[in-house]
Structure 1
Amino acid sequence: MQVTDTDRTILRMLQANARERLEAIAYETGLSVATVQRRVRALREAGVIARDTAVVAPEKLGYAMTFLVLVELERERIDQLDAFRRKVRDEPQVQQCYYITGDADFALIALARDMDDYQRLTERLFFDDSNVKRFRTSVVMDRSKVGIDVPIAGPDAPC
């Protein structure tokens, strides 16, 4: 799918507020509501819009602590990498997981209510896994910027 300037405007608006009314998008783009609806559907079907989601404040649900965890595995066979990926995908307290280069194999962003809760998480994820060689934890002091927004460039951007 070729992403147009109009599509970029639609994407910017939806990325800022996934519940933006089609009428507001139509007004901003100069299109009819039906045309906006068709374009949004096309963007979803093409996978440009991966999903609609709500951003929940973790502290409002008792998750007072955020951790950055670097994980080094003992062995890096595909089946073992996939097993670790599945484990962290299934763990609700892990918000993000990245397979990375460098000294560690994975970088995780995880939430916990307190240090005891984090200790239980480490037992489930790391101590109970014989393929985890080591992990290093940093406690997040301040969430200076949190987001998954993708920069939506202007008309000269390759899309």
Structure 2
Amino acid sequence: MKKKPIPRPLDEFDRAILRIIQQDNKTPQRQIAERVNLSAAAVQRRIAAMENTGVISSNTAVVNVQAVQMSITAIVEIRLKDERIETVDNAKNLFRSAPEVQQCYYVAGGVSFMLIVVVPDMTAYEEITRRLFAQNDSVASYRSLIALDRVKTGSTILIP
């Protein structure tokens, strides 16, 4: 696997560009340039550099879950039977490979993982709980919290 170069410290121009493209990554570079007082070429170079160093990790579309009939959002606490490296790594790989798992966090504080799972209905949720948790010998227990409303979602990071 090719290692990404170490990112250089972000300056105010980089931070301004990131604030704009987090809101809409399809904003034309000439508009970004006007807003941050740089040339379009400079903006293009800076965005490319941030992509190459991993500051910008991906460019994706955020899909409205109701529009694609994915009406169940569950927050799931997972407790593993042990925290051995092999057990944790196997769990990470399993959760990473499940498309229903939208977010996965390996955490401290009595719980091993916190997952955000999105599925179309409770039947699909039952199937994923069986596949990922109930039939998994590494999982000691799990607890599901079903979201009543997606009040705030997204991946925008506050950039000072």
Short-chain TM bin: over 0.9
Aligned residue number for residue 142 of structure 2: 135
For residues 119 and 2 of structure 1, the distance between their equivalents in structure 2, rounded to whole angstroms, comes to 46
Q: Unaligned stretches of 5+ in structure 2?
A: 1-7
Q: Distance in 1 between matches of 2:115 and 2:57?
A: 21
Q: Distance in 1 between matches of 2:119 and 2:54?
A: 32
In structure 1, give the amino acid aligned to 2:134. F
Match of 1:112 in 2: 119
- Separation of aligned partners in 2, 1:55 and 1:45: 22
Q: How many angstroms does 1:152 deviate by?
A: 0.5
Question: What value does the CA root-mean-square deviation take over the aligned residues?
Answer: 0.9
Q: Does 1:42 align with 2:49?
A: yes
Shift of 1:46: 2.1
Number of residues of Structure 1 aligned to a counterpart in Structure 2: 153
**For residue 22 of structure 2, what is the aligned residue in structure 1?**
15
**What amino acid does structure 2 have at the position aligned with 1:35?**
A
Between the aligned partners of 1:4 and 1:67, the Cα distance in structure 2 is 38
| Runs of 4+ with deviation above 4 angstroms | none
Which of 58, 61, 81 matches 1:51?
58
Please list, as runs of the form range in 1=range in 2, the aligned pairs for 1:72-91 lying within 5 A after superposition: 72-91=79-98
Q: Which runs of 5+ in 1 are unaligned?
A: 154-159
